[in-house]
Amino acid sequence: MTGMSKWFVPAVGFVIGLLMAAAELGRQAAPWQVALEFAIVAAYALGLRLLQSRSETASLLSGMPVDERWVSINNRALALAAQVIAIVLLAAFLVTQFGGGDAMPYAMSTAVFAVAYLGGIAWFRWRQ
């Protein structure tokens, strides 16, 4: 891996931290809240970078699995997470529907998930 790729996740983390801090500023948050929000995200991103060479888990979370076993662990974890998210979105939709609330955000999130999943199947099947 090049030095640039090892800094990709921390760089993205810092950008996300800045965007979250800017959103807090837009909400008229106190300066300590803005700083705390940025610090949490930045510390996580920097922590991943510092632990990449010492921890296989940190390396995986940074997008650089150390071997095929960790690629398999990542793929299984992603599949589990996708299944859980699908169930949670459906449950939230149903609870909101039965409760009389606006279920459209859950319906749209579920639709995006379904389109991404089915699109992924079609894309990877076509590329095979």
pLDDT digits (tens, 9 = 90+) for 49-95: 999 889 999 999 888 888 999 999 999 999 999 999 999 999 999 99
Q: Domain residues for 111?
A: 67-128
Say yes or no: 25 and 14 in one domain: yes
Nearest to 42 by CA among 5, 9, 13, 8: 13
Say yes or no: 21 and 61 in one domain: yes
Say yes or no: 109 and 59 in one domain: no
What would the two tokens of residue 42 be? 């930045």
Please classify residue 57 by burial: count the beta carbons closer than 10 Å to its beta carbon, then call 0-12 exposed, 13-18 middle and 19+ buried: middle
Count of domains observed in the chain: 2
Say yes or no: 115 and 71 in one domain: yes
Give the global pTM: 0.76
Query: Model confidence at 99, in pLDDT bands (50, 70, 90)?
Result: very high
Q: What confidence score (pLDDT) does residue 4 get?
A: 58
Say yes or no: 51 and 72 in one domain: no
Say yes or no: 30 and 61 in one domain: yes
